[in-house]
Structure 1
Amino acid sequence: MKQVRWGIIGTGNIARLFASDFRYAKSGELRAIASRDKASADAFSAEFDIELAFVDYFSLINSHEVDVIYIATPHTSHYDLTKACLLAGKAVLCEKPFTLNEAQSKELYELAAAQQVFLMEAMWTRFNPVIEQTIEWVEEGEIGDLHSIQASFNFLAPTDPNHRLMNLEMGGGALLDIGIYPVFLAQLFLGKPDFIQNQAVIGDTEVDVFEQILLGWDSGQLASLEASLISCHPNRAILSGSKGYIEIDSQWFKARSCRLVSNENQERAVEFDFPGEGYQFEVDEVNRCLMEGLLESPNHSWQDSLELISTLDEIRQDIGLYYPGEPELRHPEEELHDHHHEHHHHKH
């Protein structure tokens, strides 16, 4: 079996975690790294034993030594880099959020289809064994009818106004970086919501630092979600049903354990022992898809990704949070006919 050859663009924190976990993947070879800073590229290639180090993104994108490229740069560059990779015929795993908005995402998936090139948003949590177990339990009816999902992703981000998370120019804020995870979890089980309400706190640098989101479905389910860059939290997730509940332990988005509790309080706990942080599972998925000649993963499809960014667009619309150069996401006159949204906006 021919090894799938990987390249990474970007040498930041997420790239390091990915490269570190790559050794635990079932197959594939980490062949190349690109950074615009030569010292970073060289240090990264030495640390992770990567043969090729490029100081120019396009040299990597056009390299014949690479089959698939993992994009690990800040949010604002995802669209341009993914587009360049697709035009060069390179398969892509692009870090989430896939792009800043649905219009950009749609264009890229259409381009991937036209180019017949594999493309996936790096929603690594989807491939975590605990999430797989949770899906299985829900599908088998272990908790009966699923009524509600609660999930949080809170942590204390750096307060430096130039840090990417605090910087509007770099697509900063809680929603796109970490709020995407709880929204992903809700939509994984319940699909795109019919109602969205939220409360957001905007920080000193004009990005959202904290929000609570309530999603509702016409069929009667609710999801209560929270994301924060300014507070600590156990970050558990709970799926509640008519026969019991599933609790995914802290930090739920990279959990190693979960439990199924019946309404008679019978508990079944499951623990998974895997090395690293768990980025290897999305690598396995991409390798599998490439071996099978798929253009998208059935487990985190283009449709799944588009529905996710579409919900984030609606929430940002509601908050009034736009990134530089971004067209407003909907027109004000549409708001008059839209009774599903409640507008709450606090200054922090």
Structure 2
Amino acid sequence: MKVGNKTTKWGILGCGKIAHKFAEDLLTIPNAKLEAVASRQLQKAKEFADIYTANKHYGNYSDLSKDPDIDVVYIATPHVFHYDNTLMCLNNRKAVLCEKPFAMNTSQVQEMIQKAKENRVFLMEALWTYFLPHYQYVLKLITSKELGAIKSLRADFGFSSTFDPNGRIFNKKLGGGSLLDVGIYPLFAVLSILGYPENIEAKADIGKTGVDETCTIELNYKNGASASLFSAITQKTNTEAIIELENGRIVINSRFHEPSSVTTYQNGTSKLHEFDVSTNGYNFEAIHVQEMLFQNREESTIMNFDKSLQLITLLDTVREKIGLHY
């Protein structure tokens, strides 16, 4: 975003792994500057700021949200803090890009959206996959009807994590479990490709810390299409998305949620489509946010409020079916 010589000044709230990737990609964006970072540990914030040449660092989140020099805040804290952190920033008239899941339930997301509307401040859920070149290619290919209507979709995301009852992945108090952490990506894929389902079935393996260690979801649609989704924090999967259509197949290759390649199959032949992405991939959503701010928009034209509400509603429904209550 550029108005004259104006640069978009970012704040990053939370200094974990994903925040590092986002900050690294900010360095590649013209007219983007990391103005300030915040952690609950001042030294951690200082070290982060030094790496990415941020002008300021804070040992608490509140001070960053009040910094008059910041245009937009990227919230990269654990799931359970998204709601409070977002409201704090919105109340201080800061635009917000909040990591997925937007919050822990539909009620919280509705309140976040309402606050953004009341304060006339931009807010978006950071579902970065939506903005990646390979994913945009797939959406356009499906819309073109070149391969006909969709018959089915299969998507998975599983990784094997070392068991730590106090770590974010397994700790129920931190919103742990496979569904909210990685299952959200297959669910996002099905919503962006097939829309909201007519029928939802789900089952899960609930571990000793009370979170879902694996989750299996079956979805059915009025037009006859179906989707089979799987997520896990105890086993590694291919992490790919396979879309069967009337006249062919689309495979979003391994780690489909991040910069990847696409293979299309039609008339007995296959074609590999590769996309030249030299970053982690977070720059695409950040550039979109800057464009939205440049246009004085309060809602994304791509990852809009309705899509976030559909996603959290679907997550809530699945959680109810597998008996997962935070």
Shift of 1:266: 2.4
Match among 39, 50, 54 for residue 54 of structure 2 = 50
SS in 2 for 1:165: coil
1:17 and 1:156 map into 2 onto residues whose CA distance is 21
1:27 and 1:257 map into 2 onto residues whose CA distance is 29
- Residues 1-348 of structure 1 aligned to structure 2 (within 5 Å): 1=3, 2-262=6-266, 264-323=267-326
* Kept in 1: contact 2:42–2:60 (CA 8 A): no
Per-residue CA deviation, residues 184-239 of structure 1 (Å, 9 max, x unaligned), is 00000111111111120001111001011011111211111000001111111111
Amino acid in structure 1 at the alignment position of 2:139: I
Amino acid in structure 1 at the alignment position of 2:14: G
Shift of 1:277: 1.6
Shift of 1:276: 2.4
Shift of 1:284: 0.7
Amino acid in structure 2 at the alignment position of 1:9: L
* Kept in 2: contact 1:248–1:255 (CA 8 A): no
Per-residue CA deviation, residues 137-165 of structure 1 (Å, 9 max, x unaligned), is 10111220011111111011231110011
Between Structure 1 and Structure 2, how many residues are aligned?
322
Consecutive unaligned residues of structure 1, counting only runs of 5 or more, are: 324-348
1:299 and 1:120 map into 2 onto residues whose CA distance is 10
Give 4+ residue runs of structure 1 displaced > 6 Å after superposition.
none
SS in 1 for 2:190: helix
* Kept in 1: contact 2:164–2:170 (CA 8 A): yes
* Kept in 2: contact 1:193–1:215 (CA 8 A): yes
Change (3 A) 1:27 1:244: farther
* Kept in 1: contact 2:292–2:298 (CA 8 A): yes
* Kept in 2: contact 1:24–1:275 (CA 8 A): no
Amino acid in structure 2 at the alignment position of 1:292: Q
2:276 and 2:265 map into 1 onto residues whose CA distance is 21
Moved more, 61-70 or 266-275: 266-275
SS in 2 for 1:253: coil
Shift of 1:26: 4.1
Amino acid in structure 2 at the alignment position of 1:22: L
2:54 and 2:78 map into 1 onto residues whose CA distance is 22
